[in-house]
Each structure stands twice: as structure tokens, then as C-alpha cells.
Amino acid sequence: MSSKPRVAVLGARGRMGSEAVKAVTAAEDMELVAALDRDEKRETLTEAGAEVAVDLTHPDAVMGNLEFCVRNGIHAVVGTTGWTDERLATVRGWLAGSPATGVLIAPNFGIGAVLTMHFARQAARFFESVEIVELHHPGKADAPSGTAVRTARIIAEARRAAGCPPAPDATTTALDGARGAEVDGVPVHAVRLRGLVAHQEVLFGDEGEIFTLRHDSMNRGSFMPGVLLGIRRIGQTPGLTVGLEHFMDLGS
């Protein structure tokens, strides 16, 4: 990769993509070489000599974009949501054919959001109960958020490893959705409200004690230090990396 990575943004006219275009343009150690949105041809990436593509599009678009990038040896920094185990396995398969290429999938670029997940992993085994509430702007396509799904999986994994029993819940009758969506056994509740950007609470409970982790992104600029960190690191990180925490030297 060049000493100043040549960067393309996909989804460049969107809420996140337009912010990423500004952040990459303002960063002195990288160069914006392409800014694409829907209906613009992916070949622009190769024509422009892009070395890193930042994908901030839509769950329906991200797989096609990534396949193109990996096939052409373009590293990818992905904020787009909608990840399943099957999709991750497909990306690993593509990368096997292009072993020098790196893909970072970051459920959340907010430094505080990454720390929330890190601390949630540590707290998970100490409390009987845990539930997640994520709160977002009403323009969001997916529910629950990618961050909430990832947080729930991290918590569930930590609780399984510690041999924790399921959280207590005496509910025998409920309206559909009243107890949220179950992600790996953790209830996740999604709020969509005008005025919000991106917020999450992880609620842990035990006898006489509640422990809450809360993160608030007040604007989309809050995600940009994480996007830039991903661009700076992905060229030296071949293969698939899931989660920005791997670039943050957080220790265990």
C-alpha cells in the first residue's frame, strides 16, 4: 500500500458516507480517490487505483461490494450492518483466494461503543440478568442494530464460558415483541425515535443491584476516528477482522 493510502467511500451520499468523505479528505495521511453511491459502477474503484474501500451502504449492497473489492485486492473497512455467520463465512471464502487482502467489519466505529462491548464482556458473568436496549434514528433500516447483536453475542459467549444459567424470567403470557428479540438468549429491545442518532444501554441486574453501561453517539462525527483508524490499520491486517477492538490494543 502507498505511504498515503488511496481511499474510496461507498455510500458516499448517505448519512455516514458523506461524513466519511469529509473525514478522509481532511486527514493528511490518506487520499480520497473515489466517492461512489448507488448506481455508480464499482469499476471506478479499480480505475481510480483505490487501495482501501470504506463501505457504508446497505445490508443488501455490502456483499456485492465486498466481493468486488476482495477479488481486486482492495482492502475494505466495513461499517454496514446485516452480518450473519453465513455472510462472514462467505467473506472468509473470498479472502482465502486473496490472502494479502484485509477486511475489517466494524459493527460500531464509536470508540465508546467499542468500550461498551469490551466492558460488557467483563461484566457478563457477574449478574443474574442482562438485557439490551438500543435506540436509533427512525431512518435506520435494520433492527436490532448490528452493535446490539454483537453485544448480545459477546455477553452470551462470556456467560456460556462461565457456566451461567439463563436469566430468570417468569413471563408466561406476552404480546408479540413485548420481551424484545432474543439474540443468543439475550433480550434486545429496539427504539426508533426522531431526534436520536445511535445509543445503547446494557442493563445488568442482580439482587439489590443494577449495573448499566450506556453509550451515546450524538452525531456521526463520533464514528470518524474509528473509521480513520480502520483505514490506517487494515493494510497491515490481512484476512477478516470483526470488531474495531482488535485495532485498539485493549488487552483482555
Ligand X SMILES: NC(=O)C1=CN([C@@H]2O[C@H](COP(=O)(O)OP(=O)(O)OC[C@H]3O[C@@H](n4cnc5c(N)ncnc54)[C@H](O)[C@@H]3O)[C@@H](O)[C@H]2O)C=CC1
- 176 annotated as a binding-site residue: no
From the centroid of its chain, how far is CA 73? 22
Between residues 70 and 190, which has the closer beta carbon with respect to ligand LZUJQKHR? 190
Query: Which partner from the list ligand LZUJQKHR, ligand X, none does 36 bind, CB cut-off 5 to 8 Å by kind?
Result: ligand X
The answer to whether the beta carbons of residues 76 and 52 sit under 8 Å apart is: yes
Helix/strand/coil (H/E/C) assignment for every residue in 26-73? HCCCCEEEEEECCCCCCHHHHHCCCCEEEECCCCCCHHHHHHHHHHCC
Which residue among the candidates 75, 136, 199, 215 is catalytic per the annotation? 136
Q: Which residue has the cell 438500543?
A: 134
Least Cβ distance, residue 93 to ligand LZUJQKHR (angstroms): 24
- 179 annotated as a binding-site residue: no
- 146 annotated as a binding-site residue: yes
Least Cβ distance, residue 194 to ligand LZUJQKHR (angstroms): 13
The answer to whether the beta carbons of residues 42 and 78 sit under 8 Å apart is: no
Q: Cα–Cα distance between 247 and 104 in angstroms, integer?
A: 10
Q: Which of 68, 83, 94, 109 binds ligand X (CB under 6 A)?
A: 109
Intra-chain end-to-end CA distance of the chain, in Å: 30
4: annotated active-site residue: no
Point out the annotated binding site for NAD(+).
Answer: 11-16, 37, 79-81, 106-109
Residues lying near ligand X in the complex (CB under 6 A): 10-11, 13-17, 36-38, 56-59, 61, 65, 79-81, 106-109, 146, 223
